[in-house]
Amino acid sequence: MFINTQQVQDPILKKMHLLEENKVEAFVKQLAEISQPTSLGFINQHAYNLIQKNGETKFNFDHLTYRLRDGSGMAMCCKLNKCPSGANLNGTDFIPKLIKHIQQSHQKSVNYFVFGTEQPWLSKGTQRLLNNVPCTTQHGFAQADSYLSLLNQQPQAEFNVVILAMGMPKQEYVCQLLSQQLTGAWLIICGGAIIDFYANRFERAPKAFRQMGCEWLYRLIKEPKRLFFRYVVGIPLFFSRIFINRLIKVE
């Protein structure tokens, strides 16, 4: 189902799950049929930099069950490594598609949990994303083990969905903790700013920007102070690291 990246030299790209466009629907169905803890995350330019910078963050990303390509930056990384980039599976578009499929097709009982951001955005964004389906929520600023304790206090359904909307790298750390401790059919999704987007706290880039692969530029224009380091500093750093990984073999 996934594009073979084993011959790629870049150590981050080698561990990613690049999906062909015509295989996305089958992958969505596969995720809705899991029987054991399964974690899902997205690697974009910012994630690439975080993984290169911090060993613990690298460990947490490496232990996600699936690591999907998000954004034009990683598409360029694929191109430079002579590897097909596959579908652009950014979380803001992919997660709603996955949730919709689960809600429309699942025959089992399903529990939903959303951890991240803060009120009133948490409730508003969760209601829109889940179409007002009952859900357990918690803000994104608690200690990691408190989320595990909260899940253990809830009755477990036949299928359980956890959306972590805390941002990187905390959500990947929490994801790793939950994946290690939970048993049964748990789908744990690292969702970044998806709840804030659905609550209209942050404005999504217009479709034209997204089609050109310039959503990052629109976000930078809208939030220059918050996103300056991520993009103005982070993008040149990202490309320098790609070229370094092309020149030397990094394990």
Q: Is the pLDDT of residue 233 over 80?
A: yes
* Closest listed residue to residue 172, CA positions, set 192, 194, 145: 192
Percent of the chain with pLDDT over 70: 98
Q: Is the pLDDT of residue 47 over 70?
A: yes
Q: Across the strands, what pairs with 114?
A: 137, 163
Q: Is the pLDDT of residue 246 over 90?
A: no
User: Domain count of the chain?
Assistant: 1
**Structure tokens that stand for 225 in this block:** 């102070």
Give the Å distances, CA to CA, from 108 to 2, 122, 159, 174, 179: 27, 26, 7, 26, 21
Q: Is the pLDDT of residue 127 over 50?
A: yes
Decide if 25 is inside a domain. Answer: no
Band of the pLDDT at 133, cuts 50, 70, 90? very high
* Average pLDDT of the residues in 105-133: 95
Decide if 199 is inside a domain. Answer: yes
Give the Å distances, CA to CA, from 8 to 83, 223, 236, 241, 244: 7, 35, 22, 15, 14
What's the domain range around 45?
35-207
Q: In this predicted model, what pLDDT tens digit does every residue of 49-75 receive, in sequence order?
A: 999 999 999 999 999 999 999 999 999
3-state secondary structure of 180: helix
Decide if 216 is inside a domain. Answer: no
Give the Å distances, CA to CA, from 181 to 37, 145, 184, 196: 9, 10, 10, 28
Decide if 105 is inside a domain. Answer: yes
What pLDDT, on the 0 to 100 scale, is given for residue 208?
A: 87
Decide if 244 is inside a domain. Answer: no
Rounded Cα distance, 32 and 142, in Å: 28
- With vertex at residue 95, the alpha carbon angle to CA 92 and CA 96, rounded to the nearest 5 degrees, is 90
Return mean pLDDT, the chain.
Answer: 93
Decide if 29 is inside a domain. Answer: no
pTM comes to 0.94
Decide if 221 is inside a domain. Answer: no
What pLDDT, on the 0 to 100 scale, is given for residue 236?
A: 94
Band of the pLDDT at 189, cuts 50, 70, 90? very high
Decide if 192 is inside a domain. Answer: yes
Alpha helices in 106-206 (DSSP H): 121-129, 144-153, 170-181, 194-198
- What's the order of all strands across the beta sheet hosting 66-69? 66-69, 38-43, 186-190, 159-165, 110-116, 136-138
Length of the chain, in residues? 251
Give the Å distances, CA to CA, from 86 to 12, 16, 70, 172, 180: 16, 11, 10, 23, 30
